[in-house]
Structure 1
Amino acid sequence: MIPNEIDPEQALAIPHRPGRHCGSSAIRDLLEFHGMMLTEAMCFGLGSGLGITYLALPDAPVPFLVHVRSLGYEERVFQALDIPFAWTSYASVDEGAQALDDLLDQGCPALLLTDIFHLPYFASRTHFPGHAIVAWERQPADGSVLVTDTERPAPIPVARAALARARFADLPPFVHAGNLFAPPSISARFSVERVATAIRHNARLLLEGGPCVGVAALDTWLDDLGRWEREGDWRWTTRFAYQVIERRGTGGGGFRKMYAEFLEEAALADPRIAELRLPQLMADSARCWTALAMALKAGSESECFPAELLADALQAVQASERCYVEAALAY
């Protein structure tokens, strides 16, 4: 049992099951609380969750970052279900904490964005903002807040002050100021047409954007490999990139493995998805992303920067992503 978690029998009203990605599992739990059952993979796919964002941050501990999930994901899940959505943000940590107290006292669980650096149960030495959790209720004894988090099997009490601080972050690309979403009720609409729209939209997200967004970001990353070797601690930069792609709540393969499951589920309702081989093409992309992650991990343990190894792995990812996007845009 994870330290500081409560007995599951004390939290039967909290519909949480371990998941793979913070946002999709948190949204699944919140929807289930309000009476709508969707798989985590379906929640991820409805939000057009796949993305590629490449960032150069010269003054940061990790000077080069890659994110493999799309920005604005949470909002798109609710939009796809016709659920009115807007993040509520706050001017100060104290104001945000008080607002959460009031909502929980009214019986409204809240979807939150947090920085794991400030969540005690992570004991993280690295800032990682944009991490979604759900806050469910306050504990009368000490005012701590029960939260559920991705793969953790049971609710975890978090000190009020720590949770309040975790909800504020200014590290790009995930900037949040106490962001929460706590609807008193949810009435959703689901259809095969909405799934199809999400698939096409996610393909466009991967294809469009500037040099640091979508598939084009892989070209920028390739061009920057020399800088990865020269600037900062390349062993930590490559290790962190490996973690972001394969370990930090992606479900493996830079979220592509879970997205392939979404496509398989969607294909049961629309055979054209299978005819276009979208699940298989996405599974191929997942394998290429995992191979890139393993190359990054091996590089972090090497004596010399693995420029050729990383270039080959990046080019394989490029090819697989473009192959999928072309097929999805034909859907």
Structure 2
Amino acid sequence: MTMVEGIDARGMQHCETTALGVLLRNEGLDLSEPMLFGLGSGLSFVYWDSKGMSFPFLGGRVKPFELTRSLAAVLGLELRVGETSSPRKAWQNVVAPIDAGRPVGLQLDSYHLDYFSSKVHFGGHVVAMYGYDEHDAYLVDTAPQGGAVSTSLAGLARARAERGPMTARHRSFTITAPENLTSPRKRIIPAIKTCADAFLHPPIANLGHRGIEKTAGQVLKWLQRSDNPREDLPQAALLMERAGTGGALFRNLYRDFLAECAQLIDSSHLRTAHSLYTEAASLWTQVAALIATAGESGDAKNLMQAGSLLHELSRIERDAMQELSKL
């Protein structure tokens, strides 16, 4: 058995920030999950629907692995990424750092992991790996998935090799912190402004505040859009609240990030944005509940209510991001 010594195998709410936490703590940098999410400019919004999809998808964060790249860039960390189509080379990319005492981040499809209770294909899942033996890999996943967990090497190989939406070719990565690390506190404002700018000026109408406004109109048709509304609508609500989002489609995490920032930086813009995101987080949880109830009851009135809350959310989040862009 080969293990990285002294790993702090703490599971958090969201998969990518959980893995980043493990890798950074091993480098002597211990940041809260909201701070990791915010410094990585992780908050976003996407409404995604296409002919090939059985039901629309609402996303509340940037694309998989973008958060990791942003966080490394903003803190001046050395991010080494391996991608390959060769399973043998992919395994070498993992065991070499672990043998040298460094945990490794992996992007894979959670469907093939032994400990996952819900068997759904999601190719953007991220875990940290810190050890292995002849049969199993030792991983850190989110707290809801068990924190420190293990899966068979065969299952891990399948999860890494899977192709499809959001997958990457056996992606693995390590992080090294320089000796003269930039103070995270000094990087807060640039990270916030990057996030606000992307949210306020989306290139297409499916993203940012425009995406939320678009969803307000689309959600009214969701009972007709689905072949199985009793399943699809509650599932959509569950993904918003529980699927590694920290609740309220990542808005709880961003609210807590802004609260942490407001204690470090004296700014009325930060305080205003924090109170707006506190309101937004609570409304997103209400929207999820209304969508679930609409699916269970078949009553479109719930979707009308959800639509009007989404109109409100588009305005609230736009106002909050406008405050943050003034920092």
TM normalised by structure 2 equals: 0.89
**Letter of the 1:17 counterpart:** R
Match of 1:150, SS state, is coil
Structure 2 match to 1:44: 37
Tell me whether 1:230 sits opposite 2:224 in the alignment. yes
Structure 2 unaligned runs (5+)?
Answer: none
Structure 1 match to 2:89: 95
Measured against aligned partners, the alpha-carbon deviations of 1:279-312 in whole angstroms (never above 9, x if no partner) come to 2111111111111111122122113344313212
Match of 2:45, SS state, is strand
Measured against aligned partners, the alpha-carbon deviations of 1:230-274 in whole angstroms (never above 9, x if no partner) come to 333333332232122110111111111121111111112211156
Which residue, out of 59, 69, 72, partners 2:61? 69
Match of 1:182, SS state, is strand
- Percent identity over paired residues: 25
Return closer, same or farther for 1:288/1:132 CA change in 2, 3 Å cut-off.
Answer: same
Cα distance in 2 between the residues matched to 1:168 and 1:252:
30
Cα distance in 2 between the residues matched to 1:241 and 1:211:
21
Tell me whether 1:158 sits opposite 2:146 in the alignment. no
Shift in Å at residue 94 of structure 1?
A: 4.2
Return closer, same or farther for 1:182/1:301 CA change in 2, 3 Å cut-off.
Answer: same
Tell me whether 1:57 sits opposite 2:50 in the alignment. yes
Structure 2 match to 1:28: 21
Q: How do residues 1-331 of structure 1 correspond to structure 2 at under 5 angstroms?
A: 13-60=6-53, 62-71=54-63, 72-139=66-133, 142-151=134-143, 152=145, 154-172=147-165, 174-183=166-175, 185-187=176-178, 188-209=181-202, 210-225=204-219, 227-232=221-226, 233-272=228-267, 276-305=271-300, 306-331=302-327
Cα distance in 2 between the residues matched to 1:261 and 1:194:
17
Cα distance in 1 between the residues matched to 2:158 and 2:233:
29
Cα distance in 2 between the residues matched to 1:163 and 1:214:
34
Shift in Å at residue 76 of structure 1?
A: 0.6
Return closer, same or farther for 1:275/1:165 CA change in 2, 3 Å cut-off.
Answer: closer
Q: 2:11 touches 2:148 (CA, 8 Å); kept in 1?
A: no
**Letter of the 1:241 counterpart:** A
Measured against aligned partners, the alpha-carbon deviations of 1:96-141 in whole angstroms (never above 9, x if no partner) come to 23432333223221111122211111132321221211000112xx
Q: 2:16 touches 2:125 (CA, 8 Å); kept in 1?
A: yes
Cα distance in 2 between the residues matched to 1:13 and 1:192:
26
Shift in Å at residue 86 of structure 1?
A: 4.8
Equivalent residue pairs, number? 317
Match of 2:59, SS state, is strand
Q: 2:109 touches 2:167 (CA, 8 Å); kept in 1?
A: no
Deviates more, 1:32-41 or 1:100-109: 100-109
Q: 1:96 touches 1:178 (CA, 8 Å); kept in 2?
A: yes
Cα root mean square deviation, aligned: 2.2
Structure 1 unaligned runs (5+)?
Answer: 1-9
